[in-house]
Amino acid sequence: MTEAVFHQGIVCPLDKNNVDTDQIIPKQFLTSVERDGFDKALFFDWRYLDNGEPNPEFVLNFPQYQGASVLLTRENFGCGSSREHAPWALKQYGFQVVIAPSFADIFYNNCINNQIVPAKISNAQIDALFDLGQSGEPFELKVDLKNQQLLVDGQAAIDFEIAEDVRERLLKNLDFIGVTEEFNDQISAFEQNLEAQRAWQ
């Protein structure tokens, strides 16, 4: 994988609008703040039958999408409550990228803090990607984060929206705390200067 390619993986098509965080991870699984063990709860109500067996009609259970790491979906993904467990579950399952026309704001920021790329593209481009998977055959997609492009072999590159500061954080694998720590030298210098000023008071 080249330096420009942030991620490459199989695309799983979840053809649903307004997927809220309670569908991504239902409330009964929010009892822990430890960031592990949530992969089995991802899309629990859709993914499993009442008897606990995998639902053969849900896309994550299709054999061809096992190991998928790019989630393709529709408008307003991640709406509902602000639970950070939703991106935790997606990440632990193996999704590194979510592609949609729009995201709920808090969910979008939670994705970034958990090193998931939330790539916004137009509805027409979303439709085109869904069309690629209509045959039932999986396809791979590359994410060129530096150039903000989604790449599929044999297809034109798709530009996606992402703020420059967000792109830099993802490329550097930093959350908000990590960004702050980049300024440790300046913070220490400020603290020392402040202490020096206080010494004369």
- Strands 149-151, 70-72: pairing kind: unpaired
Beta bridge mates, 5: 144
Give the pLDDT confidence of 1-57 residue by residue, as tens digits.
455 678 999 999 999 999 999 999 999 988 866 667 899 999 999 999 999 999 999
Mean pLDDT score, 59-81:
96
Q: Which two tokens stand for residue 171?
A: 């490329």
Q: Which residue has the tokens 């709860």?
A: 41
Reported as a pLDDT band with limits 50, 70 and 90, residue 182 is very low
CB 116, CB 100: distance < 8 Å? no
Reported as a pLDDT band with limits 50, 70 and 90, residue 108 is very high
Domains of the chain: 5-162 (3.20.19.10)
Please tell me which residue, 66 or 179, carries the higher pLDDT value: 66
Tell me if residue 161 falls in helix, strand or coil. strand
Tell me the three-class secondary structure of 13-67, residue by residue: ECCCCCCEHHHHCCHHHCCCCCCCCCHHHCCHHHHECCCCCECCCCHHHCHHHCC
pLDDT at 199: 58
DSSP letter for each residue of 76-101: TBTBSS--THHHHHHHHHT--EEEES
In the chain, what is the straight-line distance between the N-terminal and C-terminal CA atoms, in Å? 58
Q: How far apart are CA 111 and CA 69, in angstroms?
A: 14
Q: How far apart are CA 74 and CA 102, in angstroms?
A: 8
Q: Which two tokens stand for residue 24?
A: 């991504």
